Each structure stands twice: as C-alpha cells, then as structure tokens.
Structure 1
Amino acid sequence: MATFRFDTRVAHDPDRVWAVLTDVSMIPKWFPAVQEAHFDGTHRHLTTAEGTLKSLVVTEDDTLRRFQYRFVEGMPQPIDFHLGTIDVLPDADGSRVVYSQEILPEALAPIVGIARYFAVRG
C-alpha cells in the first residue's frame, strides 16, 4: 500500500481554514490540479485536466476538524483501496494542515502523490 502524508502551516485560525477546506467549491483555489468541484450530497465530483474523479465522503467531523474521503470512480485503473484524510490542527497563532492518503494498487501512487503540491491560502 502506498502512503503519503504532507503538512503545512497556515497563518489563519483553524476554524477559518476548516471552513475553506470543507467547502467543495473552494477546492480549485487551494488544489490547482482541480478545475471544478461540486458536492451532490454524498459524493464530491472533481474535474481535472485528465477527467472527473468521484469521491465518497467518509467523515466530516467539525469538532475534530477531520475530513476523510475515498475515490470511487475516475482513476485510470480500478482502485482496491483509497482513503484520504485532512486534519486541521491548532498551531501557535495559526493552523497545521495534515493531508494523508493511502492507496492500493501502488501503481496509482503517482496520481494521488501530486497532493503534496496543494496550497492552502487565506
């Protein structure tokens, strides 16, 4: 299983960062590989230059500021397992955003590995 974990410090209040990261329409602003995004009540639909990815929302916990999702459609080959997790933690006078992904088969790792380039902006 391929596993990735990236983190970044953001000079904004954790609640503000959480609000941006959980607003699906804002994804193209902080993750440039996504051109458009919308939520249908169960799934997030993310349009990229390569096509559309569909992800199932697994967890959206406002208290923990934890968001988890699973890609269910749109990868170039079948997915055996995927779990993406975003945690927003207090960090001094700002926030620490921790973004992790686990995926099988490992051949899909380069695709989800581009997440290291995400940029949270205020």
Structure 2
Amino acid sequence: MATFRFDTRVTQDPDRDWAVLTYVSRIPEWFPAVREARFDGTHRHLTTSDGTLKSLVVTKDDALRRFQYRFVEGMPQPIDFHLGAIDVLPDASGSRVIHSQEILPEALAPIVERAAGEGIAGIARYFAAHV
C-alpha cells in the first residue's frame, strides 16, 4: 500500500481553516485541479479536466477537525483501497493542515501523490492570500 502525508502551516485560526476546507463547493478555490465540486449528502463529486471523481465521505468530525474520504469512482483503474484525510490542528502561529492518503493498487500512487501535493500547496497559497 502506498501512503503519503503532506502538511503546511498557515496563520489563520484552525476553526476558520476547517470551515473553508470542509465546505465542498469551495474546493476549487484551494485545489487547482478541481474545476467544480458538489456534495450530494453522501458523496463529493469533483470535476477536473480529466473527468469526475466521486468520493464517499467517511468522517467529518468538527470537534477533531478531521475529514476522511474514499474515492469510489473516477480513477483511471479500479481501486482496491483508498483513504484520504485532512486534519486541521492548532499550532502556535495558527494551524497545521495535514493531508494524508493511502491507496491500493500502488500503480495509482503517482497520481494520488501528485494530487495530494498539489492540494497542500493550494491550501498554503489560498490561506497566504486570505490573511
């Protein structure tokens, strides 16, 4: 199984960061590959230039500021296992945002690693511009 973890520190309050990162329709504001995002009550639907990804929301814990999801459709080959997570933790200067991924088959690892890296970089850019 391939596992990745990326993180960034931002100067905003953890609750503010959490609100932005978990509001599905705002994903295109901080994740450059996503053109449109919507939530149907169970799944997130993320439209990219390559198509639409569908992810099942596993956990949205406002007290822990932990969001977990599983891609269930839209990857270029079948997924045996996937779990993505975004955690927002208090930090002395604001927040620490952690974006982690686990994926099988490992052949999907380069796609997921690149996307998670772009996502965390987008989070850093978004919050730097919205101080």
Interval of TM-score (by shorter of Structure 1 and Structure 2): over 0.9
Larger strand proportion of the pair:
1
Q: Partner residue of 1:112?
A: 112
What's the CA shift for 1:93?
A: 2.7
Q: Percent identity?
A: 80
Counterpart mapping for 1:35-46 below 5 A: 35-46=35-46
Per-residue CA distance 1:36-86 (angstroms, 9 max, x = gap): 000000000000011000000000000000000000000010000000010
Give me the TM-score of the superposition, normalised by structure 1: 0.98
Distance in 2 (CA, whole Å) between partners of 1:109 and 1:38 is 25
Q: Partner residue of 2:60?
A: 60
Per-residue CA distance 1:94-113 (angstroms, 9 max, x = gap): 10000000000000111111
Counterpart mapping for 1:1-122 below 5 A: 1-114=1-114, 115-118=116-119, 119-120=122-123, 121=126, 122=130
- SS of corresponding position for 1:68: strand
Distance in 2 (CA, whole Å) between partners of 1:28 and 1:107 is 26
Paired positions, count: 122
- SS of corresponding position for 1:34: coil
| Equivalent AA in structure 1 for residue 80 of structure 2 | D
Residue segments in structure 1 that go unaligned for 5+ positions in a row: none
| Equivalent AA in structure 2 for residue 4 of structure 1 | F
Distance in 1 (CA, whole Å) between partners of 2:38 and 2:10 is 24
Q: How large is the RMSD of aligned CA atoms in angstroms?
A: 0.7
Moved over 6 A (4+): none
